Structure 1
Amino acid sequence: MTTSIINSQKVNNDLGNSDLRLKDIIKTLPRECFQQNRRKAWMQVLFSVFAVGLGYFILTITPWFLLPIAWIFTGTALTGFFVIGHDCGHRSFAKRRWVNDLVGHIFMMPLIYPFHSWRIKHNYHHTHTNKLDEDNAWHPITPEVFADWDKPRQSAFELFMRKRLWWVGSIGHWAVVHFDWRNFKTKDQSSVKLSVAVVVLFAAIAFPLLIATTGIWGFVKFWLMPWLVYHFWMSTFTIVHHTASDVPFVAANKWDEALAQLFGTIHCDYPRWVEFLCHDINVHVPHHISTAIPSYNLRLAYSSIKENWQPYLHNECQFSWSLMKQIVDQCHLYKTDVGYETFNEYYAKR
């Protein structure tokens, strides 16, 4: 883990007092970072289709005792589908909007993820990254909010963290947030309805057909288990990108856009095969500096950011079970202007 030149306390002191602007950071990036390359974009598409196809082929021939390995590979490859849809949602896959929308729907469809629902909510996350009570991705719960919950909800959240169930977090987010168009502005509801209809129609055709041809076990083997692996990576990427004991979430009146995107976004290294299948989505800092950077240019952009803005970057980390244990053991409740406290610390004050 590299050592950051500044610490979180300095970042907290700078919040609301910084002359740093996001546009100043963007100006230092090489112009190539923003250039869309159709060949690279469609090569990513072909690679992901090949990887997912290979995964399903392996699932058809592998003995039962090797199925977990095949599920992990196939689910990780399916995460690459999501990353392609992710680029489409930010309009960084293609210059034509209809191409982004079409490709985004196609690649999120097998994941039963409504494209426009996710696109709209995710762009809101980029606009309010690490802004307390506004960020709609993986945001911390304050002691005040926790105290207002009823006992069953408190117990469920505490169980979720103490039992280290972060890996199912994105399933709840997917189910609760993305299918009810009433949660969206009136101008966006028609787009949301379209995306919901697309995935519902896909499920209505694909799931019965899969069950009819392979049985319930085939549905579990070929769709459910890879889908759960995909959500493992979705949950893991999401929590790791913006969660550490020293990463501040601040109120709107103290929030600084540039500092939130630089210090509040964490670069984490994963096994190279995971990064390869997932199109370098772990190289996340440049994506928060500008969503116009295609995934195949993230490493180039990050090299430039490290060269020019290293003092404002959070420590890099490496994915491991000890890292996830550290996050879910320490980052329970968030006290405004103070930081995280554990459930034990919270109850000790009651």
Structure 2
Amino acid sequence: MEKERKLKNEVNANGVVEKGDFFDPAAPPPFKIGEIRAAIPKHCWVKNPWRSLSYVLRDLLVVLALLAAATHFNTWFFWPLYWVAQGTMFWAIFVLGHDCGHGSFSESPLLNSFVGHILHSSILVPYNGWRISHRTHHQNHGNVEHDESWVPMPEKIYSKLDSSTRILRFSLPLPMLAYPAYLWYRSPGKDGSHFNPYSSLFSPGERKAVVISTACWTFMFGLLVYLSFVFGPITMFKLYGVPYLIFVMWLDFVTYLHHHGDDEHKLPWYRGKVIT
């Protein structure tokens, strides 16, 4: 009860909320992962592949319907509406691929990998390369030295950045387009590429999986280049390029907000040994 009391804000006699000892970033969490898992109803752990596939079918139908509408109307009044809607659908596709990477899409690793490769490759994300680095992120969340997602930059690294990197990372709205650069080069101070099977991101046993994902990504990129010759680069930029940029902005924006608190309730970051 004492622990629970410390986690709650209290209301005084005048009905004003007074902040209690809500969060001590230096202390271990007042709960264990096992306690969180035990509190989740059992039906939430059931992975229904047919339900998951129905979400994929639904989203792909929406993407195709938006493509058909864009080519039919083809007016500058409709194009901005299409870009926002299609870019948001690209983000929805990414989320489904993300669930494949976590294994929450189905109980079948083969199905997860197959669907994940199709979905992520279609929006130029190397499925296994990102899946592995994302796993690293979850294993080291909040650790400045080992985390992957929008890690605060130590001064010693910042002082060594060249001007172009500083502009990309700290001049709005460019940070919201950082994801493709992260895939190729990771963040400053971290070596490796999500496309290179010999990157420091991956163990020897993961190299074959990375090669497969990079090959799928390369095929999709080649297909886009081919379609640009068939339909014209301007048309492909309007149909695919702008929605891709909207998707990247959604991805960076949501990820940043997901891992940083507001000015009043900041999320802590740690250094040193990772406690598992």
2:221 to 203, 212, 231: 203
Alignment root-mean-square deviation, CA:
2.3
Partner of 1:163: 172
Paired residues in the alignment total 248
Q: Match for residue 198 of structure 2?
A: 182
Matches within 5 A, 1:16-27: 18=29, 20-27=31-38
Structure 1 position 182, deviation (Å): 1.8
Is it true that 1:99 corresponds to 2:111 in the alignment? yes
Within 2, Cα distance between the matches of 1:7 and 1:210? 60
Alignment of 1:1-350 (within 5 A): 5=9, 10-15=23-28, 18=29, 20-62=31-73, 63-147=75-159, 149-150=160-161, 152-153=162-163, 156-157=165-166, 160-176=169-185, 177-183=193-199, 184-204=202-222, 206-244=223-261, 245=263, 246-253=266-273
Structure 1 runs not aligned, ≥5 long? 258-350
- Matched AA of 2:36: I
Paired residue secondary structure (1:188): helix
Cα distance change, pair 164–215 in 1 and its aligned pair in 2 (3 A)? closer
Q: Distance in 2 between matches of 1:133 and 1:140?
A: 9
C-alpha distance in structure 2 between counterparts of 1:209 and 1:168, whole Å: 25
Question: Given residue 87 of structure 1, which amino acid in structure 2 is its aligned partner?
Answer: D
Higher gyration radius (CA): 2
User: 2:197 is matched by which residue type in structure 1?
Assistant: W
Runs of 4+ in 1 over 3 A off after TM superposition: 4-9
C-alpha distance in 1 between matches for 2:154 and 2:170: 14
**Cα distance between partner residues in 1 of 2:39 and 2:88:** 33
Q: Distance between the aligned counterparts of 1:188 and 1:56, measured in 2?
A: 36
Asked if the contact 2:129–2:213 (Cα under 8 Å) also holds between the matched residues in 1, the reply is yes
Contact 1:138 1:239 in 2 (8 A): yes
TM-score for the superposition, normalised by structure 1: 0.66
Tell me: higher relative CO, structure 1 or 2? Use CA pairs within 8 A at least 6 residues apart: 1
- Name the % identity: 23
Normalized against structure 2, the TM-score is what? 0.82
**Structure 2 runs not aligned, ≥5 long:** 1-7, 10-18, 186-192
3-state SS of 2:23 partner: helix
Measured in 2, the distance between the counterparts of 1:81 and 1:188 equals: 24
Output the CA distance in 2 between the equivalents of 1:51 and 1:116: 26
Distance 1:237 1:8 in 2: 28
